Amino acid sequence: MSLKASQAWAHLQSHAYYMSQSHISDLFEGSQDRFSTFGFAQDALFLDLSKQRITDETLALLIQLANERNLTDWINDLYSGKHVNDSEDRPALHTALRTPRDHKLEVNGTEIIKEVHDNLDCMEAIVSKIHSGQWRGFTGHSINTVVNIGVGGSDLGPFMACKALSDFQPQEAANLKVHFVSSMDGSQLADLLSHLNPARTLFVISSKSFTTIDTLANANTAKEWLKQSSNVASEEVLISRHFIGVSASPEKAQEWGIPKSNQLAFWDWTGGRYSMWSTIGLPIALKLGMQGFKEVLDGAHAMDTHFKETPFEKNLPVLLAMTGIWNINFLNINAHAILPYDGRLSHIPAYLEQLEMESNGKSVTREGSNTDYSTCPILWGEVGTNAQHAFYQLLHQGTESVMCDFIVAAKRYHNTDNAELQHQHQLNLANCLAQSRILALGDSVIEGADDAPVYKRYKGNQPCTTILLDELTPTTFGQLIAMYEHKVFVQSVIWGINPFDQWGVELGKKVATSLLQALGPEAKEKQFDNSTQGLLQHITKRNA
């Protein structure tokens, strides 16, 4: 049945008509304790939906919609290894990557959890060799710098996690620097290489496919740099000491030159943007130690269990997803700001941009028809306090409705006596609470606002979610990210789309190949549209 033909959809539409007349501040006035009605706790995570434009009836109807879309069956299919990625005819088993060793999951005759833990053991051996100084570069010195070369899912998750959890670097990893390079133009790598000691640098080439041109171009530049800055004649020796490949295509990695002994594998059933829990997480394990990485996995597993076993009425990913559906499909809000009030989470907006927009930025259903409803909104974000001095003007007084996620840790700096730092945390918390308050309630939060000139007024009514962590730790971080992953899955089920493929990124790769030829000496005249042709000629002249 099509989404719009479902009963709950029709009810939600008439409910939305009525709700669109009310302001979030009216909802607070009409209820004594919205916070306990729309606040949901799970382990060290608290989800406050009270500043959403919802009532009990809204949530009940949204849950009815989830049921009509057979969400429970879809969740079971996801966890059990059914081919939920239908266009690529394979499962999406990222939940298996964080399942404890003593569990069992057999898919097509393979014991998946055992394979996952065998891989983690290989990863642990490499981590321990590097941390203990036994991994030696071409001069015999130990490694003190790791550079992860990857892009998209082979970069964003580990990059985000290493930044978020750097407070948790254990003693054995204290002397190891972990860097990330992704940009195709070589600018990040060129900057970095000039500061690195080739003899003590290890490159991790992370690529599920091992065909991504961005990553291979950076890997080739790194290899050339090593060749030029060492007196080692043999490329094999240099690669074996200075390169690790992490890939689901071991043959391709080997073709590039990385021997099997320097490879960590994962599986095609691990989607790129769902892969930081796999061996793609090697930089995380190098930064946090294997124990820290396992705590991230444990946190994610706790969220997996919660998502699978908790009634929808109390299920954090389901509630997060369904309030999103309400905003997007019934209140017509198509912009979503991700606002971490924590500098350690500065990379979470970029991570969620890929997770959400590459997963659900689609307009064709699993059945192959065009959707007649909106799907993934435009996501962007920034550390909240910085964004206050940048784009919050639009959130407060612009013409667009924007839903906002505030992410913040209640506790910070409790291990330091630095009173100034503790004060900074209080300042940060105050700003987080102030902004969500004004965005939702408008200037009704202060007295006398009515008397202000119109250009000083704040209309509010922007729906805000606050995700409050007791504290940012490897475990709560794992929970937080897994909650967003499941949220994306729930929304895909409602919209009837496959969140695990990304066909929309393929054409750009092909067209770039023909343009690369056009930039070379064999360029043909009039091969492209007039604008592209003009730009090519301009570039050629400037390079002459």
* Stretch of 63-71, 193-201, 202-210, 437-445 contacting ligand F6P, by CB under 6 A: 202-210
Rule CB under 6 A: say whether 215 interacts with ligand F6P: yes
Q: Which of 128, 209, 310, 365 binds ligand F6P (CB under 6 A)?
A: 209
For 468, the token pair is 């409050």
Minimum CB separation of residue 207 from ligand F6P in Å reads 3
Task: Please give the residues from 132 up to 151 whose contact with ligand F6P meets the rule CB under 6 A.
Answer: 151
Rule CB under 6 A: say whether 498 interacts with ligand F6P: no
Rule CB under 6 A: say whether 207 interacts with ligand F6P: yes
Let me know: does 202 contact 258? Beta carbons within 8 Å. Answer: no
Angle of the 112-131 helix axis to the 282-309 helix axis, nearest 10:
150
* Stretch of 30-38, 161-169, 208-216, 436-444 contacting ligand F6P, by CB under 6 A: 208-216
Minimum CB separation of residue 78 from ligand F6P in Å reads 18
CA gap 215, 271 in Å, rounded: 17
For 360, the token pair is 């659900």
Question: Any idea of the CA torsion for 66, 72, 78, 80, to the nearest 10 degrees?
Answer: 180
CA gap 544, 542 in Å, rounded: 6
* Secondary structure (H, E, C), 466-513: EEEEEECCHHHHHHHHHHHHHHHHHHHHHHCCCCCCCHHHHHHHHHHH
Question: Any idea of the CA torsion for 307, 308, 311, 313, to the nearest 10 degrees?
Answer: 20
Q: Which of 42, 85, 142, 154 binds ligand F6P (CB under 6 A)?
A: 154
CA gap 331, 373 in Å, rounded: 12
Rule CB under 6 A: say whether 152 interacts with ligand F6P: yes
**What are the b/e assignments for 183-213, b being 16+ CB within 10 Å?**
eeebebbeebbeebebbbbbbbbbbbebebe
209 or 230: CB nearest ligand F6P: 209
Q: Which of 223, 273, 301, 362 binds ligand F6P (CB under 6 A)?
A: 273
Task: Please give the residues from 501 up to 530 whose contact with ligand F6P meets the rule CB under 6 A.
Answer: 502, 505
* Stretch of 141-149, 152-160, 472-480, 483-491 contacting ligand F6P, by CB under 6 A: 152-160
Minimum CB separation of residue 334 from ligand F6P in Å reads 23
Let me know: does 392 contact 306? Beta carbons within 8 Å. Answer: no
The 336-365 site mask, x for binding ligand F6P (CB under 6 A), equals: ----------------------x-------
Q: Which of 169, 212, 278, 360 binds ligand F6P (CB under 6 A)?
A: 212
Minimum CB separation of residue 308 from ligand F6P in Å reads 25
Let me know: does 271 contact 92? Beta carbons within 8 Å. Answer: yes
CA gap 496, 66 in Å, rounded: 11
Let me know: does 439 contact 460? Beta carbons within 8 Å. Answer: yes
208 or 362: CB nearest ligand F6P: 208
212 or 360: CB nearest ligand F6P: 212
137 or 153: CB nearest ligand F6P: 153
Minimum CB separation of residue 358 from ligand F6P in Å reads 6
Number of residues near ligand F6P (by CB under 6 A): 14
389 catalytic? Reply is yes
Q: Which of 158, 272, 340, 499 binds ligand F6P (CB under 6 A)?
A: 272
The 114-133 site mask, x for binding ligand F6P (CB under 6 A), equals: --------------------
533: buried, middle or exposed (CB in 10 Å: 19+, 13-18, 0-12)? middle
Residue 265 has φ and ψ, to the nearest 5°, of -100, 160
Write out the DSSP string of 275-334: -TTTGGGHHHHHHHHHHHHHHHHHHHHHHHHHHHHS-GGG-HHHHHHHHHHIIIIIS---
154 or 435: CB nearest ligand F6P: 154
Say which of 195, 389, 414, 526 is annotated catalytic: 389
Say which of 353, 356, 358, 382 is annotated catalytic: 358
* Stretch of 32-40, 134-142, 207-215, 478-486 contacting ligand F6P, by CB under 6 A: 207-215
509 catalytic? Reply is yes
Name the residue among 507, 510, 466 with its Cα closest to residue 342: 466
For 261, the token pair is 């002994």
Rule CB under 6 A: say whether 283 interacts with ligand F6P: no
157 or 198: CB nearest ligand F6P: 157
Minimum CB separation of residue 157 from ligand F6P in Å reads 9
DSSP state, 87?
G
The neighbour count for residue 5, using CB atoms within 10 Å, is 9
Minimum CB separation of residue 525 from ligand F6P in Å reads 31
Active-site amino acid positions: 358, 389, 509
Q: Which residues bind ligand F6P (CB under 6 A)?
A: 151-154, 207-209, 212, 215, 272-273, 358, 502, 505
